[in-house]
Chains A and B, each alone.
Chain A
Amino acid sequence: MRLTPEEVEHVALLARLRLTEEERERFTAQLNSILGHFEQLQQLDTSGIPAMSHAVAMSNILREDEPAPSLPAEEALRNAPDQANRCFRVPRVIE
Chain B
Amino acid sequence: MSASPELIGLTAHELSGLLGRREVSARELLEATWQRVAEVDGELHSFVLLTREQAEEQAAAVDARRGRGEELPRLAGIPIALKDIYCTKGIETTCCSRILAGFVPPYDADVVERCRAHGLVFLGKTNMDEFAMGSSTENSSRGPTRNPWDLERVPGGSSGGSAAAVTACETILAMGTDTGGSVRQPASFCGVVGVKPTYGRVSRYGVIAFASSLDQVGPITRDVRDCALLLNVLAGHDRRDSTSINTPAPDYTQALIPDMAGLRVGLVKEFMEYQGVGVEAQVGEAVRAAVRKLAELGAECAEVSLPHLNYSIPVYYIIAPAEASSNLARYDGVQYGHRTARADDIIEMYTKTRDEGFGPEVKRRIMLGTYALSAGYYDAYYLKAGQVRTLIRRDFDRAFESCDLLVGPVTPTVAFRLGEKTDDPVAMYLSDVCTIPVNLAGLPGMSLPCGFSREGLPIGLHLVGKPLGEEVLLRAAYAFEQSTDHHRRRPVPIGERDGRRCCVTKL
Chain A residues within 8 Å of B, Cβ to Cβ? 1, 3, 8, 11-19, 23, 27, 30-31, 33-34, 37-38, 40-42, 44, 46, 49-56, 58, 61, 63, 71, 75-76, 78-82, 88, 90-93
Query: Taking chain A's interface residues, is the majority helix, strand, or loop, or is none over half, making it mixed?
Result: loop
Chain B residues within 8 Å of A, Cβ to Cβ? 102-104, 106-107, 198-200, 213-214, 239, 242-243, 245, 308, 311, 313-315, 317-318, 325, 329, 332-339, 343-352, 354-355, 358, 360, 363-364, 366-368, 370-371, 374, 380-381, 383-391, 393, 425-426, 440-443, 467
Q: A31-B371, A37-B313, A41-B384 are in contact. List 16 more A-B contacts (CB 8 A).
A: A16-B332, A17-B354, A23-B363, A27-B363, A38-B314, A53-B386, A54-B442, A56-B442, A58-B242, A63-B239, A79-B103, A79-B104, A80-B335, A81-B334, A91-B348, A92-B346
Closest to B343 in A: A91
Number of cross-chain contacts by CB at 8 Å: 161
Q: Which residues of A contact B358 (CB under 8 A)?
A: 17
In the bound complex, CA of A94 to CA of B368 (Å): 31
The smallest C-beta distance from B437 to any residue of chain A, in angstroms, reads: 12
Beta-carbon contact of A51 and B317 below 8 Å = no
Q: Which residues of A contact B317 (CB under 8 A)?
A: 34, 37-38
Q: Which are the 5 A-B pairs with shortest beta-carbon distances? A: A55-B442, A51-B386, A79-B336, A81-B339, A46-B387
Beta-carbon contact of B425 and A41 below 8 Å = no
Beta-carbon contact of B200 and A56 below 8 Å = yes
In the bound complex, CA of A18 to CA of B214 (Å): 28
The smallest C-beta distance from A91 to any residue of chain B, in angstroms, reads: 5
The smallest C-beta distance from A74 to any residue of chain B, in angstroms, reads: 10
Beta-carbon contact of B388 and A46 below 8 Å = yes
The smallest C-beta distance from A66 to any residue of chain B, in angstroms, reads: 12
Q: Which residues of A contact B387 (CB under 8 A)?
A: 46, 49-52
In the bound complex, CA of A54 to CA of B386 (Å): 9
Q: Which residues of B contact A14 (CB under 8 A)?
A: 370, 374
The smallest C-beta distance from B383 to any residue of chain A, in angstroms, reads: 6
